[in-house]
Amino acid sequence: MAHRMVWSVVVMGLLVVLLRRGRQLRAIVRDRRTALLLVVAAITITSNWGTFIYGVNSDRVVETSLGYFINPLVTVLMGVLLLGERLRPLQWGALATGFVAVAVLTVDYGRPPVVALVLAFSFGTYGLAKKSAGVGAIESLAFETAVIAPFALVYLVWLGAAGRSHFTGEGAGHVALLVASGAVTAVPLLCFGAAATRVSMTTLGLLQYLAPVLQFLLGITVLGESMPPGRWVGFGLVWLALAIFTVEALRHRRRTLGRVAEASAV
C-alpha cells in the first residue's frame, strides 16, 4: 500500500506538470472547504486500499467482492440521505433487497461482513467527498496522493533502515511491478474522479458492480474459496437488487428520451 501511495504521487505530479494543472492545484490548496473534502477523500481511499489488501491476504476475496457489490447500494443511499437525490419505487425496492442480503450474509458468516462493509462505506464516502469537492480529476487526485504519500514514504524509509525492505531484493521484475502500481492505481481513480463530478450518485452507483463480478469469479474459481448455500442466497439477493436497479434505470432512461423526443416534435 505504501508503494501504491508513493508511486501514485509521482505519476500525478508528472501529469500536473505535463498538462499544466499547477494553477488549479494551487487553487485547491487555497480553498479550505475543497482542501478539507479532499483530505477526507484521501483518508477514506487509504482505508479502502488497506482493507482490500487485508481481505485479499486473509483469503477473503469473495467477501471483498461483496463489499464492491454492496457499494452501489451504499452510494445510492448516500445520494438520497445526504444530497437529497430522489428514488423511484423500484429503486427503493432494490435498496430494501440489499439490506436483506446483508442480514442473510451476517447470519451465514456468523458475524457482520466487516471487510465488505468497510470497503463499501469507505469507497462510498470517497465518491461523496469527490462529488462535493467538484474539482478536476487530475488536480484532485494529485492533492489526495500528496496528502498521504509523505506518510507512506516515511514508512518505506523506516523499512529500509530496519533491513525489511524488499523493493530491490526480488529482481527487476519486482521493482517494475511496484513502480507500475502508481499508474495502475492512478488511472482508475482518475476515471472515477471524472465521473463523480459529472453524473448523479445514483448513476455512479449503478456502474460500480462490474469489478466485483471479476473479483467474485476469481475467488470461487482460481482461489477456491467456499460458498455455502446461505452465502449463495445472500449474494443472489445482492445481484437481484442490482438487476432491479439496472432494469429500472434503463426503462426510466427510455421513457425520458421518449418524452424529450415528443416535446421536440411538438
Query: Taking the CA atoms of the chain, what radius of gyration do you get in angstroms?
Result: 20
The pLDDT of residue 243 is: 86
The pLDDT of residue 143 is: 93
pLDDT value at 214 more than 70:
yes
Give percent of the chain with pLDDT exceeding 90: 23
pLDDT value at 92 more than 70:
yes
Rounded Cα gap, residues 247 and 21, in angstroms: 40
Helix or strand or coil: residue 230? helix
User: Which residues, 6+ apart, have CB-to-CB distance to 253 below 8 Å?
Assistant: none
* Closest listed residue to residue 104, CA positions, set 6, 241, 8: 241
Q: How far is CA 127 from CA 87, 111, 256, in A?
A: 19, 27, 26
pLDDT value at 208 more than 70:
no
pLDDT value at 80 more than 90:
no
Average pLDDT rounded to a whole number, residues 21-39 = 92
Give percent of the chain with pLDDT exceeding 70: 95
Chain segment 215-264, per-residue pLDDT in tens: 888 899 988 888 889 889 988 998 898 888 778 877 877 887 777 777 77
Are 179 and 39 within 8 A, CB to CB?
no
The pLDDT of residue 232 is: 92
Rounded Cα gap, residues 29 and 139, in angstroms: 10
For 227, phi then psi, to 5°, come to: -135, 85
Residue 213, judged by CB atoms within 10 A of its CB (0-12, 13-18, 19+), counts as: middle
What nine digits make up the cell of 53?
A: 489488501
Average pLDDT of every residue of the chain: 85
Chain segment 34-48, per-residue pLDDT in tens: 999 999 999 999 999
pLDDT value at 166 more than 80:
no
Helix or strand or coil: residue 227? coil
Rounded Cα gap, residues 225 and 84, in angstroms: 39
- DSSP per residue, 94-140: HHHHHHHHHHHHHHHHTS--HHHHHHHHHHHHHHHHHHHH---HHHH
Question: In terms of pLDDT, which residue wins out, 191 or 263?
Answer: 191
User: Which residues, 6+ apart, have CB-to-CB distance to 223 below 8 Å?
Assistant: 59, 61
Dihedral sign for Cα atoms in the order 21, 37, 84, 206: positive
Question: In terms of pLDDT, which residue wins out, 50 or 189?
Answer: 50
The pLDDT of residue 43 is: 95
The pLDDT of residue 204 is: 67
pLDDT band at 33, cuts 50/70/90?
very high
The pLDDT of residue 55 is: 93
pLDDT band at 202, cuts 50/70/90?
low
Rounded Cα gap, residues 71 and 53, in angstroms: 17
